[in-house]
Amino acid sequence: MAMINCPECNNSVSDAAYKCPTCGVQLRKAKRGFFGKLFKWSFIGFNALMLFWAIAGFNTATKDIGALTGAEQAGAAIGTGIGMAMVLTVWVLGAIILGMFVLFTRPKVA
């Protein structure tokens, strides 16, 4: 464990410290742990997946709409509406839950 000099107060500080114990200046950024990284990337991946799902679902539902009869069109529109509402609900709930995990696994500055 090497000692460095604090850029603020010039006291010698361990290079493993996140903060200077004398003046409290932040010396380096805390890194996310394994789970922190895992949840962060799950969160990003989840949002990308939901976006892809929403776009793919919307494209599939509207692609052949011109070839359908009036009743079928109405059915497809309702189906799309329910599907989109489901995707949005899952998206929002998932984002909140994963977002909370991302928050809880944030690096702690000791």
Measure the CA angle with vertex 9, ends 7 and 14; round to 5°. 65
Give phi and psi for 13, each to the nearest 5.
Answer: -130, 145
Of 23 and 90, nearer to Zn ion (C-beta) is: 23
Q: Which residue lies nearer to Zn ion by CB, 13 or 87? A: 13
For residue 26, the minimal CB distance to Zn ion (Å) is 10
User: Which residues would be at the binding site for Zn ion (CB under 5 A)?
Assistant: 6, 8-9, 20, 22-23
Give the shortest CB-31-to-Zn ion separation in angstroms.
Answer: 21
What end-to-end distance do the CA atoms of the chain give, in Å? Answer: 17
From the CB of 2, what's the least distance to Zn ion, in Å? Answer: 16
Q: How far is the CB of 107 from Zn ion (least distance, A)?
A: 20
- Residue 41 CA, distance from chain mean position: 7
Nearer Cβ to Zn ion, position 8 or 42? Answer: 8
| Percentages (nearest 5) of helix, strand, coil residues in the chain | 60, 5, 30
Q: Which is nearer to Zn ion, 10 or 89 (CB)?
A: 10
